Chains A and B, each alone.
Chain A
Amino acid sequence: MNRTALARRLTGGVVPGLLLASLSGLASPASADAQYMPSQAPVPPPFFALRNARIVTGTGAVIENGTVVIANGLIEAVGADLDIPGDAWLIDVSGLTVYPGLFDGLSQVGLEAQGAADFGGVGGGGGNPLLALAQQPRTVGPEDRPATNSWVNAADMLNSEAGGIETWRSGGFTNALVAPDDGIVTGQGVVVNLAGDEQEMVVKAPAALRVTMSGAGGFRSFPGSLMGVIAYIRQLYLDADHSRQYEARYMADPSGQPRPTYDRALGPIQDAIAGGWPTVMPANEVRQIRRAIKLGRDTGGRPVLQGAHEAYGLADEIAAAGVPVLVDVDWPERNREADPEADESLASLKRRAYAPTTPARLEEAGVEWAFYSGSAGSPRAMMEKVRTAIEHGLSEEAALEALTAAPARIYGVDEMLGSVEAGKIANLVVTDGPLFDEDTDIRMVFVDGHRFEEEAPEPRPTEPPAADMNGTWLLSLNNDSQEATAELEVSEDGTISGLIRGERGEQQITDGWVSGNEFSITATATMGPGMEVEIVYTGTVEGDSIEGNASFGGAGNMDFRGTRPGGGVR
């Protein structure tokens, strides 16, 4: 890893800091200061040894009290009795467990440009949807290659400073398959490491092709219906094959033949067929699953099913088809905004009840499958939903495999990733307990042999509360530029629960305590689809006023003050 990349990694907090400042209409001189002269992290010799580790290798073996030797970004040796090379820096991980780094089977983390319109393609269009639609060229047939972004490569869209990278990495995720999100053919997916600069992040590019059934978008564009989309996809593959054959014939003897027309959309499709690229297709419902298997087969692609919430009943069929599956961990839930008295359809009740059993059914049937984050916006949320699958019968071994070795196999990187074995990339996660336990914390993460340390959680102080914090507080943030209301309930032991209503919606309090006159409240805000931000309010309370600092998931800080107009509610 070069120094610039490290420097950027270290100052990663600055950019979100500025973002936050610009949100609140202020530039932060402190951040500007840090930006002026970027810092530079030291590059220690790339040799480490994790000693006294419990090593869950991910190959089924567990080594109690073992050692992992890392050299030049790779795992050099793993075992119980190893000679540790003298140049390795010893890291004692007594009491901790080493797992292979986790792998998110499909994600958008680290992708900068959302919306293929940015690449001059058709379809999608972030920002103002009406404007995007108005700007779209009208497509009338397959020859217009509607929303076909097969030539877009996620490796070219990476932004190593994107905020999500650090969040997912500190949650134990060292890898992801990232793929563009817009279009019928969204583009080429890439296996990335979640650290380093844009070049260093790429492990395999391209590693997959992604197809959706989304339609071209727009008011009057082809294809506007599902049947049109399916017909178009078939046509696209036929065109790709025809073009390949014609080009070969033309190149053999160009004289007297019309030259083939250049078409940037077809090359990657030809490569995908020839190279057997996994082709990720949406397949949540039964008929989508069957359709994707058939479409994949007919077009000569290698389909990978994405979603699979109704796959619980089709496990054997999928196994027989030999098609791998990416399971969306974002299990269906009842709409929070729904009328509590409204009847729900049997289908949705059924899906809610059975979707989390899909992993267990796939495990039983011997299907090759992996988890992906879907709309679970944070690693914490994702692990919670994996736990739900475990509660519904999935074995922990299979759950680990679906987060490590299985996605590595699906994307053809299993010789580099997915287990703690000599010769593989040193992507590791070190925990203070079993990976799937709710109370387990991540203590270190290694990506490409570079160590990222997570702070050990501080024990919660337990002095008796000096003030009763029950009630509704009016908060004023960032020098009165923003307001929020906090409805707090405090139990006898000082645990705080409740919710905070800010200008950008509700924040659920997930953790909180008051001890003496100090308090800490952790709340989760949903900033957008799949974007959860953890906000930690820490401060002091005195009577009917509080003050302190709110930290936005590592992206910045704001000071706040608060008063309780109604006084304490007892």
Chain B
Amino acid sequence: MTRGSGNTTKQPGNTTDGRIGTMLKSIIGTAVVLGVAGLGAPAEAIAQDGGTFAVRGATIHTVANGAIEDGTIVLRGGRIIAVGRDVEIPADAEIIDGQGKHVFPGMIDSFSSLGLTEVGAVAVTNDASELGRWNPHLNAHTAIHPASEHIPVARANGITHTMAAPGGGGRFGGGGGSGIQGQATLIHLDGWTVEEMEIEKTAAMVIGWPTLSTGFRAFAGFAAPGGGRSFRRAQERFDEQVAEMDAWFVAADHYRQAVASGSSRVPRDIQLEHLSRVLDRGMKVIVRANGWREIESAIEFAEKWNLDLVIAGGNGAREIAGTLAEKNIPVILGPVQRLPQGDDTAYDDPNTLPGVLHDAGVEIAFATFNSSDSRTLPYEAANSVSWGLPQDAALEAVTLAPARVLGVDDRLGSLEVGKVGNLIVTDGDPLEITTQIEWVFIKGVPSDLDNKHRSLWEKYDSRPARRVTTTTT
């Protein structure tokens, strides 16, 4: 949280519009009272009663159907009820003057640890990783911390949704590694409870693919003489790990069949029960793989088991872009603001990757794979634009494309009538770092844009003028 924030202007939601500000407080108040009373009123109901809003006279970037100059968008009951140039604004609508402003869909961080990781270096604040390599029964939903400080930070930068994913076990608890890491959950970023934030409790099964590597990690002071294991050995180890993965899928398939047969003697196994849900495309399977050989192996595996495959990571995806496009396998990319991986990899390899994949016809979505950096999602996309990714494709890759990749494009990702009222009102292109996000609507309700970055800015911006003291000796 050390990088500069673009969100330090005064937020209209807090100050300029008294009525909306009050209403926002009353909504929040209601939610708290209901929560305390234990009535458990669904958040949906509150949002649907949340009123009617219209942004008038703005440039509306629908993503799905181009941009509308001097357009109006109306939200009611949590949904978009009208978008266009000549739109009748209901009499009871709160109106936001959109002159000179831009309206975009809220952005979706396709893969993050928002709500799961607070401070990476403090183990007790990390809920993204579990020990063990085979955890299909874990669901990130159960671990989301709605009060994470990173959530308002990301939200204030226009991120309205994320898929929060378990990071996988870890050989040193640090995440990654091959195995079944658990179920990722799709949430929006404004709620007091995870139930309120829930979009899809289970968005996908996350699998870490084995890596085919001849490199040794130094361990306990032992380094390998000669620099690493032989490729033959690495290939063997890789094949072993894929076979291990396969054994889990065989067992899951067997379990599914046994349960479906109505047999009363099948011992319940929650690992296999959850894993069997991914078979025959019953749940998305997000495979974390970077090298093209690993991706190829994952594709072969997914075809064998008829999996609804999404690749996450994809650093080496350019090598098999054609295959990914042909087989309609999307790639969740990121972060692409990184160094090239090999000593002799082209300096711009990470930067040009999104454009290359896009040109080849691969569906791409950006992600931060992080919690504190989730706010930088738009810059992942922005950076790629200067290296060949068309600007509209970049915008789509943080809005509608993630919605498609995660299977929620019927509700999220674009500004169309009937979709959920998730939008941001800005003074420019949200991929531009100087752009200010002025309003964020989630489920048709304006969100509080206050956040820790902002309060720190306020604190230090308003500190007293430097006192000049004279000391005598």
- A residues contacting B by CB (< 8 A) are 10, 26-30, 32-33, 36-37, 39-47, 71-72, 85-89, 479, 538, 548-549, 557, 559
CB pair B257–A87 under 8 Å, yes or no, is yes
**Besides A10-B244, A71-B265, 20 other CB < 8 A contacts?**
A26-B225, A27-B219, A29-B219, A29-B224, A32-B220, A32-B222, A33-B171, A37-B169, A37-B177, A42-B134, A42-B251, A42-B252, A42-B272, A47-B263, A47-B265, A85-B263, A86-B262, A89-B257, A549-B232, A559-B230
In the complex formed, the residue of B with least CB distance to A559 is B230
Chain A residues lying within 8 Å of B254, measured Cβ to Cβ, are 44-45, 89
Q: Does B3 contact A (CB under 8 A)?
A: no
Q: How far, in angstroms, from A103 to B222 measured CA to CA in the complex? A: 43
**Alpha-carbon separation in the docked complex, A39 to B255 (Å):** 20
Q: List 26 A-B contacts (CB under 8 A).
A: A29-B216, A30-B216, A33-B217, A36-B171, A37-B132, A40-B132, A40-B133, A42-B134, A42-B248, A42-B251, A42-B252, A42-B271, A44-B250, A44-B272, A45-B266, A45-B267, A46-B267, A47-B258, A47-B263, A85-B261, A86-B257, A87-B258, A88-B258, A89-B254, A549-B230, A549-B232
The residue in chain B whose Cβ has the minimal distance to the Cβ of A89 is: B254
Closest to A46 in B: B267
Which residue of the partner chain B has the closest CB to A90? B257
A548 and B231 CA atoms in complex are apart in Å by 10
- Separation in Å of the B170 CB from the closest CB of chain A? 8
Min CB distance, A162 to chain B, in Å? 21
Partner of B232, one of A28, A45, A87, A548: A548
Query: Given the known A-B contacts A45-B254, A45-B266, are A39 and B222 also in contact in the complex, defined by CB atoms under 8 Å?
Result: no
CB < 8 Å neighbour of A41 from B225, B232, B236, B247:
B247
How far, in angstroms, from A46 to B254 measured CA to CA in the complex? 9
| B218 with A29: CB separation less than 8 A | yes
Residues of B within 8 A of A44 (CB): 250-251, 254-255, 272
Chain B positions 220 through 234: 1 when the CB is less than 8 Å from some CB of chain A, otherwise 0? 101111100110110
Taking a contact as CB atoms closer than 8 A, the residue among B217, B237, B248 that contacts A29 in the complex is B217
A30, A42, A72, A548: the one contacting B237 at CB < 8 Å is A30
- Number of residues on chain B facing chain A (CB within 8 A): 46
Residues of A within 8 Å of B247, CB to CB, are 41-42
Q: Which of B196-244 contact A (CB under 8 A)?
A: 216-220, 222-226, 229-230, 232-233, 236-237, 244
Q: Evaluate contact between A37 and B131: CB separation under 8 angstroms.
A: yes
Complex Cα gap A26–B272 (Å)? 39
Q: Could you say which residues of chain B place their CB within 8 Å of the CB of A85? A: 261, 263
A47 to B262, CA, bound (A): 13
Leading 8 A-B pairs by shortest Cβ distance: A86-B261, A87-B263, A87-B258, A42-B251, A44-B251, A29-B219, A45-B258, A89-B254
Q: Which residues of A contact B250 (CB under 8 A)?
A: 42, 44, 89
Interface check B326, CB cutoff 8 A: no
Give every chain B residue within 8 A of A10 (Cβ-Cβ).
244
Q: In whole angstroms, what is the CA distance A283 to B473 when docked?
A: 107
User: Would you call B269 an interface residue if the criterion is a C-beta within 8 Å of the partner chain's C-beta atoms?
Assistant: yes
CB–CB A40/B257 < 8 A: no
Given contacts A37-B133, A43-B251, contact A30 B229 (CB under 8 A): yes
Judging by beta carbons under 8 Å apart, are B271 and A33 in contact? no
Q: Which residues of A contact B219 (CB under 8 A)?
A: 27, 29, 32-33
Minimum CB–CB distance for A509 against chain B, Å: 20
What CA separation (Å) do A10 and B260 show in the bound complex? 28
CA distance A46 to B216 in the complex (A): 38
Q: Chain B residues with Cβ under 8 A from A559's Cβ?
A: 230, 233
| Chain B residues, Cβ within 8 Å of A26 | 222, 225
Contact indicator B171/A37 (Cβ below 8 Å): yes
Among B220, B223, B247, B258, residue most surrounded by chain A Cβ atoms (within 10 Å): B258
**Interchain CA distance A26-B221 in the complex, whole Å:** 12
In the complex, what distance in Å separates the CA atom of A41 from the CA atom of B230? 26
Name the A residues within 8 Å of B272 (CB-CB).
Answer: 42-45
CA of A538 to CA of B232, assembled, Å: 10
- Complex partner residue of B134 from A40, A89, A538, CB under 8 angstroms: A40
- Measured in the bound complex, the distance between the Cα atoms of B11 and A217 in whole Å is 93
Q: How far is the CA of A39 from the CA of B241 in the complex (A)?
A: 10
Q: Cβ of A89: which chain B residues have Cβ within 8 Å of it?
A: 250, 254, 257-258
Q: Which residues on A sit within 8 Å (CB–CB) of B265?
A: 47, 71-72, 87
A237 CB, min distance to chain B CBs, angstroms: 48
* Residue of chain A at shortest CB distance from B230: A559
* Complex Cα gap A479–B257 (Å): 50
Tell me the complex Cα distance, A32–B217, Å. Answer: 10
Known contacts: A30-B237, A43-B251. The answer to whether A479 contacts B226 by CB under 8 A is yes
* Cα–Cα distance between A116 and B171 once the two chains are bound (Å): 39
CB distance from B5 to the nearest CB of A (A): 38
Best-buried of A26, A36, A41, A45 by chain B (most CB within 10 Å) = A45
Q: Give A37 to B237 CA distance when docked, in angstroms.
A: 15
Residue of B nearest to A45 (CB): B258
Q: How far is the CA of A89 from the CA of B251 in the complex (A)?
A: 9
Closest B residue, CB atoms, query A10: B244
Contacts of A40 in B (CB 8 A): 132-134
Query: What CA separation (Å) do A45 and B244 show in the bound complex?
Result: 17
- Quick check: A43 and B269 within 8 Å, CB to CB? yes
The interface residues of chain A lying within 8 Å CB-to-CB of B233 are 549, 557, 559
Interface string of B265-280 (1 = CB under 8 A from A): 1110101100000000
A45 proximity list for chain B (CB < 8 A): 254-255, 258, 266-267, 269, 272
> Within 8 Å CB of B222, what residues of A?
26-29, 32
Residues in B with CB closer than 8 Å to A27 are 219-220, 222
Residue of A nearest to B256 (CB): A45
Question: Quick one: which of B169, B216, B232 has the most chain A CB within 10 A?
Answer: B232
Task: Please name the residue on chain A nearest to B261 by beta carbon.
Answer: A86
A-contact 0/1 string along B175-198, CB 8 Å cutoff: 001000000000000000000000
B221: nearest chain-A partner, CB-CB: A27
Q: Which residues of A contact B132 (CB under 8 A)?
A: 37, 40
